Chains A and B, each alone.
Chain A
Amino acid sequence: MKKIISIIWLVCAAALHAAEVTASLSSDTVPAGNGVLLTITVTGGSPERQPAFPEVKDLIINPRGTSQQMQMFNGNVTRSIAYTYVIGSNQPGDYKIPAIKVRVDGKEYETQPLNLKVGANADKAPDGMDEEKQPDEPGKFGHLSFQMIASDRKHVYPGEIAPVKIRAYFPADARVSLTSAPRPEGSAFTLHNLTEEPSQSSEILNGRRYLVVTWFGGLSATKAGEYPASFVLTGTVAVRDESARGGRSAFGGSLFDEFFAPMVQKDVELATEDAPQIEVRELPLEGRPEDFTGAIGQFEFESARLPDSLHTGEPFQIEAVVKGAGNFSLLSAPHPLPAKDWKIYKGTENFVPEDVASFGGTKSFRYNAVPLAPGETEVGLGFSYFDPEKGEYREVKSDLHNVSITGEVVKPAEIAEAVEPEKAPPEVPQIAPLATELGAVGSYASLSESGWFVPALGSCGLLSLGILGFGWWKQREIDPAKEAQRANQLATKLALENAAQAAANGDAVAFFTAAKAAVRLGIAQREGLRPEAITLADLDDSKDGMMIAILNEADRVDYSGEKLSVENLKAWNEKLDTCLGVPAAKRKELAA
């Protein structure tokens, strides 16, 4: 509550301050057809209504919005309201925006007058394109329309550039993603200088709002005959599915119905319906001037500059500017008249378009020429073109200019190489020279992006590990220590078998010989020593008592020659097996 009271107090306090009304332009110059922002700011008061604009001829004013701002500085509150307008004109000229009246808190205020300069428009449509030609009811996903030259001419000539306007109509609430610019259907026509950034506008057609995308370009015929001038445009259009709105709405209103209706997306190819048949006529041979270079349209001199005095054999520079509309690309430099008295060299030319389709504009030429014959003469410049409206060739001559040419008659061959104009220095920084060798085809893709790469690399790693494992296993097989161990085990087994056999036969000498060998082999295997190197001193009394007893008994029998009974020998054999750790089952087998 305290906050609300504070805000009311602040607003009231702000109202007590004197109001101020100002107007400003975001730029004081603008091309025709474009707009600048005009902002009217009311500070320190509450306007009672929108600012009132006096009418200015050809000036277009569209409101854009209102914004409010509140500032508090050292306890002083300032509130400002800004009214924003887009202002511009389609007609070039200097416009004066008079004082705009704003009534604030019962008092009338005025802004200061403003000046706006509207310049020529290079983005304007080609002449004759202003008339709107609206299509029939567009389809659900859109419609393409096509408008050719303003006149009713239904024929063109090969090489002629005819300005066209192509408009695509889409439902206002559609989401449109174009995948191509408009292009002619078939091979009879080509489209030149199509606007890279088409203009977008909103239009109401048959009571429904549409998003309209407009391109301008030049249509050129490639071959004689009669062909339909049809264009296609591809893209993806998503519109709300009106059929899904059936039944009662939970919200009871069409706004919500539209908002919640599902979007239907479709890849569309829009084509111009009822494409007009255009006759492409061959250029007539009759009456074709010798200097005709293919220029078709309407052209005239804007200016031509020649010096007053010249000297034969010495080059001078000719400058000429031609204006008009047509295929400027095929318009060559005007030549001095009469042509046989001059030698001319190729120069530079520069075209400045006046519309987005590069149809109308001016082309300036600058080149060197050398007079070949002396005398006082009237010199002019000339060129020729084909007028498609009248269907005839036209020769254009500039105003004649008195020129005094001194010197002797010069033959063209004498000066051909001497006066070749120097090449103008490049305007752009130099880049590395072009490659002249074609080279091999490469690939952006890394091998690692192939599906086989990782498995192949992994297989190599696993294979390496496998090979190393196999090598280790084989190495283990041929290890001398292991070999000796296996031989020892075999010899021990053989000695035990011999001992068991001798015990069964009652041969005490053979038994104890085999027993000593078995004990030595067993100890050698355990201690890692050679069997023949084993002595009684190597044995531990506490651990190897039984083995010591067997060895002692063997020495005693060996020296005494005493004969022991079979039972006695079997008992010693049992002890032998026990101390060498022979399993019971094995012992039984040996005993058997």
Chain B
Amino acid sequence: MKTINRMIPAFLCMAAFAYGATADDFKKANENYAADHFAEAAQTYEGILEKDGPRVAVLNNLGSAYFKAGDIGRAILAFERALVLSPRDPDLLTNLELAQKQAAVFPVSDNNAWQAFLAGYSARRWSQLALFAGIFLPLAALVWVLMPGKRRIALAAFAVVNLVVLGVAVSAMDTKSGESARAIILGKPATVRISPFEKADNRGTLSEGREVSLGEASHGYYWVSADNGSLEGWIQKSELAPVIPREAGW
């Protein structure tokens, strides 16, 4: 017990120190950005992300730094990654739209209100909601069994709402499952080949900032599909980056 009591303050101190160091780096990167040193700022933001993991603020600033530095593909990638974490952030949406305009990338707008609603929250948030709804179900059942009389009607209404939330969350998770296949073109432009080899014939090119759907990987290439399958082929891994980073095999 004593060991645990000693470990907790030590752990808290370490966490506070790490946060302080990250905050210093973040401040320094912002200063570099303000001094028009966009490349240095982007490098520092990348370092923070690599060290700590994704943060909406860091990804937003990283995208802004790349945007100012003229690397529109990486700017769009950073904004898209931030939007995975915070899909309704107005600043991010504005920045992404601006970067896409700059890159002449015009995404097809989805006017489906239901899909727009589902897209309004991150996959993680929907999965948390589904889990909470799932946990509430047995609790509601238990209260139903134990609670006598007319109060069961209110409980039944709550259980129905709970089931609806669970159904919506599962549907949203299903919709979001396609996010893992999204990737942004970084090449200027990226060459689409008919086979995963450097000397294979070109099938076309995709400009930076374009979104593609990833397929299988082979020999350092990814099978991609763009424009609803109108252009498909192999692109070298270095010429694109998945919106949700892949640790293994990347």
Contacts and interface: CB of A to CB of B under 8 A. Distances in A.
Interface of A: 175-177, 179, 236, 428-429, 431-448, 453, 456-457, 460-461, 463-465, 467-468, 470-471, 474
B173 interface: yes
Given A428-B67, A446-B123, A456 B57 contact: no
Interface stretch (B2-10, B136-144, B204-212, B222-230): B136-144
A464 B53 contact: no
Nearest to B162: A464
Nearest to B54: A442
A467 B23 contact: no
Contacts of A471: 141, 144-145
Max chain B Cβ within 10 angstroms of own Cβ: one of A179, A236, A439: A439
Interface in B159-212: 173, 176, 197-198
Nearest to B242: A444
B219 interface: yes
15 contacts: A428-B102, A431-B94, A431-B99, A432-B92, A432-B94, A435-B58, A438-B58, A445-B244, A446-B127, A448-B130, A456-B131, A457-B130, A457-B131, A461-B137, A467-B142
B141 A434 contact: no
Interface residues of B, number: 57
A441 B54 contact: yes
Contacts of B236: 177
A391 to B, nearest CB: 31
A379 to B, nearest CB: 30
Given A429-B98, A444-B245, A456-B134, A438 B54 contact: no
A437 B27 CA distance: 9
Nearest to B85: A442
Contacts of A453: 127, 131
Contact of B141 (A432, A445, A468, A474): A468
Contacts of A439: 55-58
Given A429-B98, A436-B30, A463 B54 contact: no
Query: A-B pairs with the 9 shortest C-beta distances?
Result: A471-B145, A177-B220, A435-B57, A447-B127, A446-B123, A432-B91, A467-B141, A460-B134, A463-B138
A436 B91 CA distance: 13
Given A431-B64, A432-B94, A442-B85, A448 B54 contact: no
Contacts of B131: 447, 453, 456-457
Nearest to B34: A434
Contacts of B91: 432-433, 435
Given A438-B57, A460-B135, A465-B141, 11 more contacts: A236-B220, A431-B98, A442-B53, A442-B124, A443-B85, A444-B84, A447-B127, A447-B128, A461-B137, A464-B137, A468-B144
Contacts of B220: 177, 179, 236
Contacts of A432: 60, 64, 91-92, 94-95
B137 A444 contact: no
Contacts of A428: 67-68, 102
B138 A438 contact: no
A443 B57 contact: no
Contact of B95 (A431, A457, A465, A468): A431
B126 to A, nearest CB: 7
A438 B130 CA distance: 28
Contacts of A468: 141, 144-145
Nearest to B63: A431
A453 B169 CA distance: 13
A43 to B, nearest CB: 28
Interface in B6-29: 19, 22-23, 26
Nearest to B25: A438
B53 A441 contact: yes
B42 to A, nearest CB: 12
Contacts of B99: 431
A470 B145 contact: yes
Contacts of A448: 123, 127, 130, 173
Interface in B114-163: 122-124, 126-128, 130-131, 134-135, 137-138, 140-142, 144-145
Given A431-B95, A457-B134, A176 B198 contact: yes
Nearest to A430: B98
B81 interface: yes
B213 interface: no
A464 B54 contact: no
